[in-house]
Amino acid sequence: MIVDRLREVPRVAVAELVEATGASDMTVRRDLDYLAAQGILKRVHGGAVPLLPSGAEPPFAARSEAAVASKRAIAAAAVERLRDGETILLDSGTTALEVARLLRHRSMTVMPLSLHIAHELADAPGIRLLVPGGEPRRGELSLVGPLTLASLRALRFDVAVLSPCAYSLDNGMTAYDLGDAEVKRQALEVATRSIVLVDGEKWDRSALAYICPADRPDVIVTDTAAPEEQRAALSQRGVLVEVVGAELRTGISSEPTRELEGTSR
């Protein structure tokens, strides 16, 4: 049942499995440890995630249905850090799409790295929309390639809002696609400051293509599922870590609790 469940969702929690099976907490944890030893899943704080190959990217449609409350809470916290009149470079991905939806009634210049987001902002009255060149990745509609890189190099932005595919202290920020990683690296180079959006499902995971060290961003916005010891380590390295509260993650309340860790560089 655990294996079948992990084929459908990006993460299972021990408490969820206890409720679903009627087994004890200790039995569920032993089963998770056994499956981890077989290379079927990876144990994370409070549960487990599927042990996907580093080059296997879950479909955009599937990701858009995962951890929606958490992504919206993270997006809302990130948007509060953006000021009207700024120039914003907005990444592709499902969390970045939630950011775009919150920017529709703001007044700023935005260059999205996704056709999904360009479409979302196309008729936003206060948004000056800049669309880069490039090749849309099939299924993802994120923009990659030489034309995208040339568009980025020709401009300078106040803020880059990025959402990596995976994140870990040891392996840094990573992406499934080589072209996507290259675009994200260039985005960091052309922005004065960076805000990185990392929901709890992405922590302690690695994808194929390296983007940058874990402590390269100025601000990381995450949720309470992010490992506390790793958040503390990042704070010690000078990264400002903002944690949105669990109540938004579960959809119980519309008001997130928020915690700041570290000092912004």
pTM above 0.85, yes or no: no
pLDDT over 90, % of the chain = 66
Residue type, 118: A
What would the pLDDT profile of 138-188 be if each residue is shown by its tens digit? 888 999 999 999 999 999 999 999 999 999 999 999 999 999 999 999 999
Domain boundaries, the chain: 2-50, 60-261
Q: Return the CATH fold of 60-261.
A: Rossmann fold (3.40.50)
205 and 172 in contact (C-beta within 8 Å)?
A: no
Secondary structure (DSSP) of 99-143: HHHHHTTS-EEEEESBHHHHHHHTT-TTEEE-----EEPTTT-BE
Residue type, 100: A
State the CATH class of domain 2-50. Answer: mainly alpha
Structure tokens at 6: 């992990």
What would the pLDDT profile of 255-264 be if each residue is shown by its tens digit? 445 666 665 4
Strands of 4-118 (E only): list them: 12-13, 41-44, 47-50, 87-90, 108-112
